[in-house]
Amino acid sequence: GEEEEWTFDNFANLDVPSLCQLVGTFMPIVKLKKDDQFLLGTETKQVMTRGENSMVRVGGGYVTITEYYNKYSVKQCVQLYHIMNANSQTFKDAVVDLMNKNMAMEDFIATYEDLDDDSWESINQL
């Protein structure tokens, strides 16, 4: 059969966990130059390993990376979407800009910039 074209209306048919999972996959996580600092979505956060868990500094304490992701990934994706719209950027360009502004490791930026633009076509159309 023919493949159905994906449109914005398809989001209405998804349940909340599926939507969060889909949208959450677009949250970039990038190592920054400063020790223990990562770009999580649009924000710089301290991330450290305790035992078997990666812990994210939030307020006065820490949460696991999974808890952070579950709670903040949708918010981060919405913020990234607003950045894309405000600057008329593609997803890839917005993320590369954020990586440069937050001093990501050069090899991460170079690898990201070298990714094929066609890989981002579906998200760039959101």
Closest CA to 126 of 4, 32, 7, 14: 7
Asked if residue 61 is part of any domain, the answer here is: yes
- Residue 31: in which H helix or E strand, if any? strand 29-31
88 within domain boundaries = yes
Question: Per residue in 99-125, pLDDT tens?
Answer: 999 999 898 888 888 877 666 554 545
Going by pLDDT thresholds of 50, 70 and 90, the confidence category of residue 126 is: very low
Residue 3 lies inside a defined structural domain of this protein: no
pLDDT digits (tens, 9 = 90+) for 36-78: 899 988 999 999 988 888 899 999 999 998 899 888 888 888 8
Question: Per the domain annotation, does 119 fall within a domain?
Answer: yes
Please indicate, yes or no, if residue 118 is contained in any of the structural domains: yes
Cα–Cα distances in Å, from 79 out to 38, 73, 91, 115?
17, 10, 12, 22
CATH number of the domain to which 35 belongs: 3.30.920
- Number of neighbouring beta carbons within 10 Å of residue 88: 8
Domain enclosing residue 60, as ranges: 8-124
Q: Is residue 99 part of a domain?
A: yes
Q: Tally the domains of the chain.
A: 1
2 found inside a domain = no
Task: Confirm whether 13 is domain-assigned.
Answer: yes
What the block records as the tokens of 20 is 């969060």
Which alpha helices (H) appear in 12-120, and where do they start and end?
16-24, 65-86, 91-101, 106-114
pTM above 0.85, yes or no: no
